Amino acid sequence: MEFRHKSVLLNETVDNLNVRPGGIYVDGTLGGGGHSYEIARRLQGKGRLIGIDQDEDAIKAAGQKLEEFGELVTIVRDNYCNIKAVLDSLNIEKVDGIMLDLGVSSYQLDTAQRGFSYMEDAPLDMRMDKRQQITAEDIVNDYSEMELFHIIRDYGEDKFAKNIAKHIVREREKKHIRTTLELAEIIKGAIPMKVRVNGGHPAKRTFQAIRIELNKELEVLKNSIDTMIDLLNEDGRLCIITFHSLEDRIVKTGFRRNENPCTCPPDFPVCVCGNVSKGKVITRKPILPSDDEIEENKRSKSSKLRVFERR
C-alpha cells in the first residue's frame, strides 16, 4: 500500500519555523515527508534537513519523496527522543528549527495489518517501530485490570474505563484476545447502548489509550521538550502539532516552563532561584486548522499547533 498521509497545518507549521536558506532544520516525525518537503523546498539548495522517524514504512516513503533534494536531506530511523544523539552522530551542535507532527499517520491507520484501526480485523499490533518486542496484544492480555483501567481512563479519557477494563479481563479469561475486531466488540459490550447511539465509535478512546501506552508517546514528548529547546540556536523555533488534550497540555506546560522557569514564591521581590528563561512562547493560543482544511481532511479537526522561540 502506498504511504499516504496528508500533512496537517502544513503552511502554518513551516511558516512558523521561519525557514532560512543555509539553516539546519529537524523534522522529528518525518512520516510521509510532507512537512519536510516544504522545508527542503524553502532551503533553496542551501543548508540541511534531518528527518527522523521510527517507522520503517515512513522512512522508505519519505526517502522517495525527498530524493530530489539529494544531500540536503539526511534521514535517520530513530525516535525523536534520541534527537541529541542523532545530531551528535552527524556532528551537529545546534539547529535553527525543529518540528513534530504527533499522533498516528493516515497510512498507519489505513494499513489494516498494522493493528491501529478498530474498523478492520487485524492482529493487535499498534507498534510504531516494528523492532519493538511488545505489542498491543501483550497489553490487552497481560496488564492487570487496574492497569488497564488507569490507561483507558488517563490516556483515553473514557468515562467507562472501569467497565471496559472489567470486560476485557473477563473475556480474556475465556480466550486470548488476538485481533482488533475482537477487542472492539468487547469494548462495545462494555458501553451502554444509548451512549453508543449518540457517541463516536465506542472503541476509539480505548484504542488510542493502548497505542499511547505501547509507544510511550506522552512520556517521550514530556522528556524531549527541554532537550529540543536546548538544541536550538538563538531565534530558532520549535513547532509541535498535537492531536489530543493530553499531548497539548504537555506542550503548553513545557513551553511555559521554559519561558518562565522561576521557582521563587510569588511574594519574593526579586528572583533568587537563578533559573533563566530560554525564550518565549509565540502562540499564546494554539493555531488551529481552517474550516477548509477540516473539510478536506477530517483527521485535521483536533490538531493544534504551538510554537516556541529560543532566545
pLDDT over threshold 70, residue 3: no
pLDDT digits (tens, 9 = 90+) for 113-152: 999 999 999 999 999 999 999 999 999 999 999 999 999 9
pLDDT digits (tens, 9 = 90+) for 109-123: 888 899 999 999 999
Burial degree of 93 (CB within 10 A; 0-12, 13-18, 19+): exposed
Please report the pLDDT score of residue 4 as a whole number: 54
Taking alpha carbons only, the member of 126, 97, 92, 101 closest to residue 111 is 126
- Specify the pairing of strand 73-77 against strand 304-310: unpaired
pLDDT over threshold 90, residue 221: yes
75 in Cβ contact with 62 (< 8 Å): yes
Residues β-bridged to residue 25 = 49, 97
Please report the pLDDT score of residue 5 as a whole number: 58
Q: What's the fold here for domain 117-215?
A: DNA polymerase; domain 1 (1.10.150)
CA 28 – CA 36 distance, rounded (Å): 10
The domain segmentation of the chain, as residue ranges, is 10-107+217-310, 117-215
The CATH superfamily of 10-107+217-310 is Vaccinia Virus protein VP39 (3.40.50.150)
**pTM of the full structure:** 0.93
Report which DSSP code applies to 306.
E
pLDDT tier for residue 89 given thresholds of 50, 70 and 90: very high
118 to 174, 223, 243, 309: CA distances (angstroms): 21, 29, 18, 39
pLDDT digits (tens, 9 = 90+) for 205-216: 999 999 999 999
DSSP line for 258-292: HH----S-TT-SS--S-----EEES-SS-B---HH
Residues 122, 126, 132, 133, CA torsion sign: negative
